[in-house]
Structure 1
Amino acid sequence: MKNSSHFSESESNQALINEWKPIWVHQAVSGDLFFVVPLLYHVALYVNPTVERGFDDRYCISNLHLAQKAALEFDENGEIRYWQKWHNRNLSVIGHHAYLPNNPPDPEFAEFEVLWDADVLRSEYPYPRYR
């Protein structure tokens, strides 16, 4: 497991690491803790995971590098970017727009616009096992 700044593998954190088995950990200046966990075709970025498998937020992002970028930029802009699915809000991004599950993928039915293009990011940041 790779660590970013501020997070140590102390004995008190070992149970958390053993439970989640993250491939990357980052503690933001805000104190928020980020774990990246691999999935079949992308990675999950968890915010403030707990030993009981709880968390504040979960995002699906196309690969580890992009999830790291999102977590590290959180310190600058206070939000997670580059996600293709935000599980807590049940939103998915197609192109530059976030949609609820039953909304047609047409910009007029989008919940809001995002600053990235999820379709381009999946191409630029492919998941290694998906190639």
Structure 2
Amino acid sequence: ELMKFDCGGGAAVLGAAKAIAALEPPGVEAHFIVAACSNMINAKAYVPSDVLTASNGKTIEVMNTDAEGRLTLADALVYADRAAGCEKIMELSTLTGSCMVSLGKQICGVWTGNDVLAKEVEQASLMTGEKSW
């Protein structure tokens, strides 16, 4: 109702940034990007069937106006890939209720096309006790 869970991913990123800064691990360069936006209703708000252009030039048709986080996240990922020149990108978000229905509230879903990165996330999950699937 008050959209408090919508900031979960950004809050987790800021928490990770604080922890890594405190630990100062040698040889680690980390960039933290939070795709924050305001979700206000006004005459300029987009509506279903609007077509928006992302920062990489791809177009996105709006099917659900409650998906604003996905749009800002897409641009943040493009920025991380292009401008920040990141070797690995970890994305944290609370975008889909279906993940919570499938895995529950105590397990995070992990998706990647990179088997090496998937293994690293799995190992970190086991080391920290943070459950992932």
TM over 0.5: no
* Structure of larger gyration radius: 2
Question: Looking at both structures, which has the greater relative contact order when contacts are Cα pairs under 8 Å and sequence separation is at least 6?
Answer: 2
Greater strand share, structure number? 1
Q: TM-score range by the shorter chain?
A: under 0.3
State the TM-score, normalizing by the size of structure 2.
Answer: 0.26
